[in-house]
């Protein structure tokens, strides 16, 4: 077994496109769920609206990339307002139901045959990312970071992605130590108490939904550029569930929780996949136990087991504070 | 029971004296008018299906006084509180605070106008520190605006001023040692204190306390009582819901009694305790339970006499 290859692959996964996409999605979700206590189960919809807003603007209407980005951002804001206005006055679990339904509606709309003229139906859209790659300042070649190597396109995507992650974390850090962030955290604890102190809870929840949605939509842009194609099934409910897993893995309501959570999540998937594949090809595992085709599923099971163990032995996540968790049992 | 309630002079402070003098000429009947009402409610009604939870004809709360709202379980006291503070919407009725109508005003705006409430089940914000709880109460914070929040220099000075004010209040409520602890680690009584201190951060004119003594360790009761009295001394008006009659007698200047959604009696505490309608509403089936020691002796003597009579019959 080639352990150096296994570790290199895991390190690559830690900084790779999936980590970037899910870190951004989870940073937004952390604003909703971790800081404000909003059970948004439709984070994938924000990614979809941004990805398709960009792709349709550029590929179908031949608008510049920057306009596509503006359309995507606007789409995320409108979606947040549409989702929030009718539901944020209701109890938290209603928001969960409405958001998960809304996310599926958005995905099925982009998938529908009647709109396929603009969306490409289930095949999705391509031919919109060149504007993004044309401003790449890097010349052709391999760019390395220690043992890691990426070509100029990957390096460009990852640089932009990690810059966005850095800026998003800075924004969340600044906001959450301000009085504005204090109101959000207080709403998570008890919104009636916050109301009784003269704060407009509805307005703050809507602001939180918009902020988290806009951060999530950055993940949509990175999906679109990184894969150079948008397909409706990139934005299924799995995306939201992965993002939730990452938020909880890293520790909710921690600035860097989602980033570390995403890196570890994808590193674990890479590790289990590579170890199983290599052990299989080296003949350590016989076909009666595991066939090559089952590795893909089994690695998810193993990561699931690992996450269960984490929840049992470290329920507050990697960055969380156990003292805080104990307070939940009021 | 004496007709004129005797006030122990030891506890007579200027504000208490002023409040008692204000009530001197007020008739002890439901809906009586007060010399300077801060809160006036008219025909406030709330129905849950067929049940009329609150049906208050006319009520005035005197400014600068401590008014108790008592009544048996299910009398509609908390519902009435919720209606007045915008946490629930009545089916009918009007009410004014400082002469301005509050009908249809959302709860957060009620608080901003100077009427701040606490809750029966204390709402300490568990995973915020005591200091963060306090700072949340401050009004007009520049840093609570999204765009300014990103720029600490726009709100840092105000935050320091608020922190200083919060520290003063925490010291007054003897919570200053808990400053950086999570609110969720505190005892029930300390949470009540924190909730009261936090309400004061809003700078209210009127404080509405929903069962401030419920679930409080007896050792803390006296200190809480002192704090409630201190609110009046600071010029605030207090309306509170309570079950503990000793506390009501001790601190209130005026008592409102609710039963089955209506205000059935009001008056000075001692007169209320002796009121037939109140005893009926409160004690119901246990009508002949002794109210004080003299009455208990009397009942005991009567029972013994009856027993002797029965023995004599044999």
Residue B8 pLDDT grade (very low, low, confident, very high; cuts 50, 70, 90): very low
Asked if residue B14 has pLDDT above 60, the reply is yes
CA distance A251 to A248: 5
Q: Are residues B86 and B235 in the same domain?
A: yes
CA distance A271 to A290: 17
Q: Are residues B169 and B236 in the same domain?
A: no
In chain B, what percentage of residues exceed pLDDT 90? 54
Asked if residue A90 has pLDDT above 80, the reply is no
Distances (CA, A) of A173 to A30, A168, A259, B140, B151: 12, 8, 13, 23, 12
Say which residues have a Cβ less than 8 Å from residue B242's Cβ, sequence separation at least 6.
B68, B69, B70, B211, B212, B213, B248
CA of B149 vs chain A CAs: smallest distance (Å): 5
Any B CB within 8 A of A210 CB:
no
Q: Are residues B13 and B155 in the same domain?
A: no
By DSSP bridging, strand B254-259 and strand B115-117 are unpaired
Q: So what's the pLDDT on residue B249?
A: 87
Residues facing B46 on adjacent strands:
B54
Tokens representing residue A114 in the block: 């009647």
Asked if residue B292 has pLDDT above 70, the reply is no
Q: Provide mean pLDDT across the span B11-37.
A: 83
Distances (CA, A) of B70 to B93, B241, B253: 21, 6, 13
Domain count across chain B: 2
Residues facing B67 on adjacent strands:
B239, B254
For chain A, the straight-line distance linking the first and the last C-alpha, in angstroms and rounded, comes to 51
CA distance B239 to B116: 10
- Would the CA dihedral through A177, A183, A184, A189 be positive or negative? positive
pLDDT (tens digit, 9 = 90+) per residue, B214-240? 878 888 888 888 999 999 999 999 999
Inspect the interface and report whether the beta carbons of A179 and B116 lie closer than 8 Å.
no
Per 3-state DSSP, chain B is made up of helix, strand and coil in percentages (nearest 5) of: 45, 20, 35
Any A CB within 8 A of B145 CB:
yes
Q: So what's the pLDDT on residue B2?
A: 43
Asked if residue A19 has pLDDT above 50, the reply is yes
Residues facing A125 on adjacent strands:
A230
Interface A-B, measured as beta-carbon pairs within 8 A, has a size of: 110
Q: Are residues B264 and B155 in the same domain?
A: no
Q: Are B36 and B29 in contact (CB under 8 A)?
A: no
CB contacts of B107 in chain A (<8 Å) are 195-196
CA of A186 vs chain B CAs: smallest distance (Å): 6
**B94 is a domain residue:** yes
Q: Are residues B161 and B55 in the same domain?
A: no
Tokens representing residue B143 in the block: 């840093």
Q: Are residues B155 and B100 in the same domain?
A: no
Domain residue limits at B167: 128-185
pLDDT (tens digit, 9 = 90+) per residue, B85-104? 999 999 999 999 999 999 98
Calculate Rg over the CA atoms of chain A: 21
Residue B9 pLDDT grade (very low, low, confident, very high; cuts 50, 70, 90): very low
Query: Is pLDDT larger for residue A219 or for residue B6?
Result: A219
Tokens representing residue B43 in the block: 């025909």
Residues facing B54 on adjacent strands:
B46
Inspect the interface and report whether the beta carbons of B127 and A189 lie closer than 8 Å.
yes
Tokens representing residue B202 in the block: 């809003």
Task: Lay out the sheet containing B254-259: strands in order across.
Answer: B115-117, B206-210, B237-241, B66-70, B254-259, B262-267
CA distance A57 to A118: 10
Inspect the interface and report whether the beta carbons of B198 and A182 lie closer than 8 Å.
no
Q: Provide mean pLDDT across the span A282-298.
A: 87
Residue B291 pLDDT grade (very low, low, confident, very high; cuts 50, 70, 90): low
Of A185, A190, A201, the CB nearest to B123: A190
Any B CB within 8 A of A29 CB:
no
CA of A176 vs chain B CAs: smallest distance (Å): 9
Q: Are A162 and A150 in contact (CB under 8 A)?
A: no
**B92 is a domain residue:** yes
Q: So what's the pLDDT on residue A31?
A: 97
Q: So what's the pLDDT on residue B7?
A: 45
Query: Is pLDDT larger for residue B1 or for residue B313?
Result: B313
CB contacts of B136 in chain A (<8 Å) are 182-183, 186, 194, 197, 199
Domain residue limits at A180: 3-140+149-326
| Top-confidence range, A138-142, A217-221, B232-236 | A217-221
Q: So what's the pLDDT on residue B180?
A: 93
Tokens representing residue B145 in the block: 């605006």
Q: Are residues B232 and B164 in the same domain?
A: no
Q: Are residues B78 and B214 in the same domain?
A: yes
Q: Are residues B257 and B201 in the same domain?
A: yes
Q: Provide mean pLDDT across the span A310-318.
A: 85
Q: So what's the pLDDT on residue B294?
A: 73
CA distance B287 to B81: 29
Domain count across chain A: 1
Report the CATH number at residue A92.
1.10.3470
Residue A307 pLDDT grade (very low, low, confident, very high; cuts 50, 70, 90): confident
Q: So what's the pLDDT on residue B31?
A: 83
Residue B60 pLDDT grade (very low, low, confident, very high; cuts 50, 70, 90): very high
Question: Which phi and psi (to 5°) does residue B287 adopt?
Answer: -55, -40
CB contacts of B149 in chain A (<8 Å) are 174-175, 178-181
Say which residues have a Cβ less than 8 Å from residue A164's Cβ, sequence separation at least 6.
A20, A24, A218, A222
pLDDT (tens digit, 9 = 90+) per residue, B204-220? 999 999 988 887 888 88
Strands (E), chain A: 142-145, 148-151
**B309 is a domain residue:** no
Identify the residue among A186, A196, A253, A324 best suited for mutation to test binding to B, counting B beta carbons within 10 A and taking the highest: A196
**B241 is a domain residue:** yes
Helix axes B218-233, B14-24, angle to 10 degrees: 70
User: If you count them, how many residues does chain A have?
Assistant: 330
CA distance B30 to B75: 15
Least confident of A84-88, B6-10, B51-55, B241-245: B6-10
**B173 is a domain residue:** yes
Q: Provide mean pLDDT across the span A15-24.
A: 97
User: If you count them, how many residues does chain B have?
Assistant: 314
Least confident of A116-125, A263-272, A315-324: A315-324
pLDDT (tens digit, 9 = 90+) per residue, A220-268? 999 999 999 999 999 999 999 999 999 999 989 999 999 999 999 999 9
Q: Are residues B40 and B166 in the same domain?
A: no
Q: Provide mean pLDDT across the span A92-120.
A: 91
Report the CATH number at residue B213.
3.40.50.300
**B48 is a domain residue:** yes
Query: Is pLDDT larger for residue A40 or for residue B278?
Result: A40
Q: So what's the pLDDT on residue B4?
A: 46
Residues facing A142 on adjacent strands:
A151
Query: Is pLDDT larger for residue B132 or for residue B278?
Result: B132
CB atoms within 10 A of CB B99: 8
Final residue in a domain of this structure, among B140, B164, B185:
B185
Q: So what's the pLDDT on residue B207?
A: 95
Inspect the interface and report whether the beta carbons of A328 and B126 lie closer than 8 Å.
yes
pLDDT (tens digit, 9 = 90+) per residue, A31-75? 999 999 999 999 999 999 999 999 999 999 999 999 999 999 999
Q: Are residues B48 and B153 in the same domain?
A: no
Minimal Cα distance from B195: which residue of A?
Answer: A193
Q: So what's the pLDDT on residue B5?
A: 45
Three-state SS for B212?
A: coil
Q: Are residues B162 and B49 in the same domain?
A: no
């Amino acid at each position: 077994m080639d352990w150096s290859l296994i570790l290199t692959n895991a390190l690559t996964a830690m900084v790779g496109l999936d980590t970037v996409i899910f870190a951004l999605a989870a940073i937004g979700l952390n604003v909703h769920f971790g800081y404000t206590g909003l059970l948004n189960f439709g984070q994938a919809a924000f990614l979809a609206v941004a990805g398709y807003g960009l792709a349709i603007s550029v590929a179908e209407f031949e608008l510049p990339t920057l306009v596509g980005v503006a359309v995507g951002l606007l789409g995320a804001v409108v979606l947040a307002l549409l989702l929030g206005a009718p539901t944020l006055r209701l109890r938290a679990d209603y928001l969960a139901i409405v958001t998960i339904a809304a996310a599926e509606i958005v995905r099925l709309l982009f998938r529908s045959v009647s709109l396929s003229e603009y969306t490409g139906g289930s095949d999705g859209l391509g031919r919109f990312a060149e504007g993004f790659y044309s401003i790449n300042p890097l010349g052709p070649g391999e760019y390395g970071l220690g043992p890691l190597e990426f070509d100029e396109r990957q390096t460009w995507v990852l640089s932009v992605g990690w810059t966005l992650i850095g800026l998003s974390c800075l924004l969340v850090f600044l906001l959450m130590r301000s009085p504005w962030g204090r109101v959000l955290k207080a709403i998570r604890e008890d919104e009636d108490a916050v109301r009784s102190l003269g704060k407009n809870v509805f307005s703050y929840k809507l602001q939180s939904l918009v902020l988290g949605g806009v951060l999530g939509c950055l993940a949509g842009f990175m999906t679109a550029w990184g894969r150079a194609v948008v397909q409706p099934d990139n934005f299924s409910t799995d995306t939201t569930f992965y993002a939730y897993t990452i938020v909880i893995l890293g520790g909710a309501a921690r600035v860097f929780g989602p980033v570390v959570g995403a890196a570890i999540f994808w590193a674990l998937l890479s590790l289990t996949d590579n170890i199983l594949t290599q052990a299989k090809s080296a003949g350590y595992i016989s076909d009666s136990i595991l066939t090559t085709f089952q590795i893909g599923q089994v690695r998810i099971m193993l990561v699931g087991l690992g996450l269960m163990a984490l929840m049992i032995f470290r329920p507050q996540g990697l960055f969380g504070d156990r003292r805080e968790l104990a307070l939940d049992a009021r | 029971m004496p007709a004129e309630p005797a006030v122990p002079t030891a506890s007579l402070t200027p504000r208490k004296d002023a409040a008692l003098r204000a009530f001197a000429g007020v008739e002890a009947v439901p809906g009586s008018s007060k010399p300077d009402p801060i809160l006036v409610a008219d025909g406030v009604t709330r129905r849950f299906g067929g049940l009329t939870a609150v049906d208050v004809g006319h009520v005035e709360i005197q400014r600068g006084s401590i008014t108790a709202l008592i009544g048996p379980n299910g009398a509609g006291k908390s519902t009435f509180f919720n209606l007045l503070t915008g946490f629930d919407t009545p089916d009918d009725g009007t009410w004014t605070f400082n002469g301005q109508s509050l009908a249809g005003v959302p709860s957060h705006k009620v608080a901003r106008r100077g009427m701040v409430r606490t809750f029966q089940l204390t709402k300490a914000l568990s995973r915020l520190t005591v200091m963060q709880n306090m700072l949340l109460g401050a009004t007009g914070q520049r840093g609570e605006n999204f765009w300014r929040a990103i720029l600490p220099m726009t709100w840092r000075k105000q935050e320091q001023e608020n922190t200083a004010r919060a520290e003063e209040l925490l010291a007054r409520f003897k919570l200053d040692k808990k400053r950086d602890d999570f609110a969720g680690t505190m005892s029930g009584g300390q949470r009540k204190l924190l909730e009261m201190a936090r309400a004061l951060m809003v700078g209210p004119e009127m404080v509405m306390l929903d069962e401030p003594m419920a679930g409080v360790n007896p050792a803390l009761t006296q200190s809480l009582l002192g704090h409630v009295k201190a609110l009046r001394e600071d010029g605030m008006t207090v309306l509170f819901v309570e079950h503990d009659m000793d506390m009501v007698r001790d601190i209130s200047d005026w008592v409102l009694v609710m039963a089955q959604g209506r205000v059935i009696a009001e008056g000075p505490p001692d007169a209320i305790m002796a009121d037939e309608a109140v005893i009926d509403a409160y004690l119901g089936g246990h009508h002949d339970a002794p109210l004080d020691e003299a009455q208990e002796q009397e009942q005991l003597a009567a029972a013994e006499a009856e027993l002797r009579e029965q023995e004599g019959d044999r």
